[in-house]
Amino acid sequence: MTEIQATAPKETLFTKAFKNLEDPRRTDKGNLLYPIEEVLFLVISASVCGANTWTAIELFGKKQLNWLRRYFPYLEGTPSHDVLGNIFSALDPDQFGKCFIEWSSSISAQTKGEVVAIDGKCMRGSYDTATSKMPIHIVSAFASKNGICLGQKQTNAKSNEITAIPELLDLLALQGCIVTIDAMGCQKKITDKIISKGADFIIAIKENQGELLEQAKKMFSIGTPPKYDESIDAGHGRVETRRCYVTDDLRFFDIKKEWGNVKSIAKVESERFIKVSGKNSKETRYYITSLPADAAKINKSVRAHWSVENKLHWNLDVIFGEDLSRKRKGNSAANFNMASKIALGLLEKENSKGLTKPNKRLYAAIDNDYRAKVLGF
């Protein structure tokens, strides 16, 4: 019989951030076998080590129980996969989300001028064919420099990003940051909200704002010559040239009063050459921004926006297997998405071994000391 070590929880950034999370189960009877903080620590520890399913987390808990007891008592051992699924299904994602934001803020202090990219992602695996339950859509805020997700908000459809983005902005500390959003977020209320948070914005314009798009195009055919910057990125068998033109001469911007927070308009031309095929592709995009006409800064910030796709969404899909996940019950998909982002953020911050994220997960699975280091103990 394994000896139970009566270990008191150690005070860490993790325990501080999640100590006030409300347990969705009835606690008045006092008969809960698995305290919520122990469940969260188990799930995030297992996720760091490569466990992407409830069954895998159950197996991790059984095999690593002595290690887990270094940090929490686990007097009744660890829960089964069914119990884990039920707890995460019942957990309030808004409450969990607030704790998640507190945790991310504690490990990732924002700096002046940092790009915070806001973007949505559909969790395809959450679609339930049996009940026709639509897949959930998560809007995330991602700190491009630090590689940390700062927070998220769940919606029921991509179209609801318009309402989810302001709600997410309300929760975040953004003073001095540059918030970048795709065309779905090109709304006056959203620009007002960003300015009220002490931040600047760069927002893409597309056909959903037809008049604004036509006005933006016009700005580069009349008035003073725009500021200009060019950057070239090469790698992965391609060469991409990005030319950014910015103007703050808005004398002929006919809807200037309606978009009072707009100080400059940018046009970014991207030309991509694929070495293997020898093919070229070109694309032109327009942006409104509250920044002055600094072409180099805006060009760099627009480029940084895509980190939310390359460093967050791609990692969740490819490394954490999110699109293959079949978690559908209650709030389990949204809550496990947050747990995965916590694990991803911890892996991003730990660079002592110079490993890729998949190899960091493997190393954490086989080395107890490295796992503790990743988790901040």
Give the pLDDT of residue 280: 85
Which DSSP helix (H) or strand (E) runs through 347? helix 332-349
The predicted structure's pLDDT at residue 1: 38
| Cross-strand pairs, 271 | 241, 282
- Find out whether 32 and 14 touch, Cβ atoms under 8 Å: no
Give the H or E element holding residue 336.
helix 332-349
What confidence score (pLDDT) does residue 249 get? 94
Tell me how far apart the alpha carbons of residues 299 and 244 are, in angstroms, rounded to a whole number: 6
Q: Report the pLDDT value the prediction gives residue 250, as an integer from 0 to 100.
A: 93
Per-residue pLDDT of the chain (377 residues; tens, 9 = 90+): 344 454 555 566 677 888 888 888 765 555 578 999 999 999 999 999 999 999 999 999 999 999 999 999 999 999 999 999 999 999 998 899 888 988 888 877 667 789 999 998 887 655 555 555 567 889 999 999 888 999 999 886 555 788 899 999 999 999 999 999 999 899 999 999 999 999 999 999 998 888 999 999 999 988 888 999 999 887 777 888 999 999 999 999 999 899 999 999 999 999 988 878 878 889 999 999 999 999 999 999 999 999 999 899 999 999 998 877 666 678 888 899 999 999 999 999 999 999 999 999 999 999 999 999 999 88
What the chain holds in terms of domains, given with CATH numbers, is: 13-90+330-374 (no CATH), 96-315 (3.90.350.10)
**Model confidence, pTM:** 0.87
Distance CA 117, CA 56 (A): 32
Looking from the CA of 178 toward its CB, the CA atoms found within 13 Å total 23
Structure tokens at 59: 């197996």
Place of tokens 């809960």: 32
Identify the burial level of 255 via C-beta atoms within 10 angstroms of its C-beta, where 0-12 means exposed, 13-18 middle and 19 or more buried: middle
What are the b/e assignments for 125-152, b being 16+ CB within 10 Å?
Answer: bbbeeeeeeebbbbbbbbbbebbbbbbb
Give the span between the Cα atoms of 289 and 22, in whole angstroms.
Answer: 40
How many angstroms separate the CA atoms of 272 and 282, rounded? 6
Edge-to-edge strand ranges of the sheet holding 238-247: 148-155, 137-143, 115-122, 178-181, 200-205, 280-289, 264-274, 238-247, 227-235
